[in-house]
Amino acid sequence: MVLTYNEAIHLERCMASVIDLAHEIVVVDCGSTDDTSKIARRFGASVFHNPWVNYSTQFKFAVSKVNSNCKWIMRLDADEYLTEELKVSVSDFLINTSDGISGVFFRRRMAFMGRKIIYGGVFPAEMLRLFRAGRGSIECRWMDEHIKVEGKTVVLNGELIDDNLNSLTWWIDKHNKYASREAIDMLNLQFGFMEYDSVASMSGDSQASLKRWVKEKVYSRMPMGFRAFAYFFYRYVIRLGVLDGKEGAMFHFLQGFWYRYLVDCKVYEVKKCMREQSVGIKAAIKNVLNIEL
Q: What is the mean pLDDT of each run of 10 residues along the chain (293 residues)?
A: 97 97 96 97 97 90 94 96 98 90 96 96 92 88 82 95 97 96 93 76 69 86 95 97 97 98 98 98 97 90
Let me know: does 94 contact 210? Beta carbons within 8 Å: no
The whole-number pLDDT of residue 144 equals 76
Let me know: does 154 contact 107? Beta carbons within 8 Å: no
Across 67-97, b (16+ Cβ under 10 Å) vs e yields eeebebbbbbbbbbbbbeebbebbeebeeee
The whole-number pLDDT of residue 63 equals 95
Cis upstream peptide for 223 (omega within 30°): no
The whole-number pLDDT of residue 198 equals 64
Let me know: does 25 contact 39? Beta carbons within 8 Å: no
Task: For the chain, list the domains and their CATH numbers.
Answer: 2-162 (3.90.550.10), 168-289 (no CATH)
End-to-end alpha carbon distance in the chain: 26
The whole-number pLDDT of residue 129 equals 96
The whole-number pLDDT of residue 199 equals 61
How many beta carbons lie within 10 A of that of residue 253, not counting itself?
15
The whole-number pLDDT of residue 200 equals 60
**What Rg, from alpha-carbon coordinates, does the chain have?**
19
How many beta carbons lie within 10 A of that of residue 222, not counting itself?
14
Using CA atoms, how far apart are residues 76 and 127, in angstroms rounded to an integer?
A: 10
